[in-house]
Amino acid sequence: MVIRKSIKEIIILVSVSVALALVVNTLSPRGIALVGQWDITKGVITANPAGDAAGQKKEIDSVARAKTLFDKGDVLFVDARSQNQYGNGHIPGAVSLPVGQFEERIESFLNRYPPEQPIVTYCSGRTCEDSHDLAQFLSDVGFNNVRIFIDGFPGWEAEGYPIE
C-alpha cells in the first residue's frame, strides 16, 4: 500500500517536472533543441544545431584547408583559448584573444587590424565552441572575413604542423 502510494506520488512529481521542463525549454530564449549535435565526426558539438546555421557556413572543417590558408600568409589566426593555453603552445603567428576577455582586449585589437583583415579563429577543437563565439563577436565589431577552424589547436598539433 505504502509502495503503491509512493509510486503514484513519484509519477506525479516526475510528470510535473518533465512537463514544466519542456514548457520552459520551449518558451525560453535560451532553450535548446530536443536532440543536439554530439557527434564529433560531423562537426563541432553543440546542444543547438539549428541555432548555429550562420556559424556553420564559416567553418573550416579540415586541417589541410587551414594549413593552405596558413601557408598563404595573409590570414591572421586568432586563438580563442585562455592565455595559459596559448602560452603552452599555439599556431605560429597566432594572436591571443581569449573569448572570456573579449571586451577588455578588443580595443587594442581593433587598432591593430583593419576590418577587411582575413581572420581564422580556433580553440581546443570540436568539443569547444569558443572559436564560434569569438568569430561571432569579431563579426559584430565589424570584421567581415572571419572563419572558424573547428579542429583547433589539437587538430593542428596532431597533423604535426609547426607550433610555437
Q: Which is nearer to another protein, 70 or 136 (CB)?
A: 136
Distance between CA 103 and CA 80 in Å, rounded?
13
Distances (CA, A) of 129 to 18, 134, 135: 28, 9, 10
Distance in Å, CB of 123 to another protein, minimum: 10
| Smallest separation, CB 63 to another protein (Å) | 23
* Cβ contacts of 150 within 8 Å, gap of 6 or more: 43, 44, 59, 60, 61, 122, 125, 126, 131
- Rounded to the nearest whole angstrom, what is the least distance from the CB of residue 11 to another protein in the complex? 9
The H-or-E segment that residue 10 falls in is helix 2-27
Contacting positions for another protein (CB under 8 A): 6, 9-10, 12-14, 16-18, 20-22, 24-25, 30-36, 38-39, 45-48, 82, 127-128, 130
* Helical pair 102-112 and 130-140, crossing angle rounded to 10 deg: 60
Between 18 and 163, name the residue whose CB sits nearer to another protein.
18
Find residue 46's DSSP bridge partners.
37
In the complex, minimum distance from the CB of residue 110 to another protein, in angstroms, rounded to a whole number: 26
Which CB, 8 or 112, lies closer to another protein? 8
The C-alpha atoms of residue 81 and residue 89 are separated, in whole angstroms, by 11
CB closer to another protein out of 108 and 127: 127
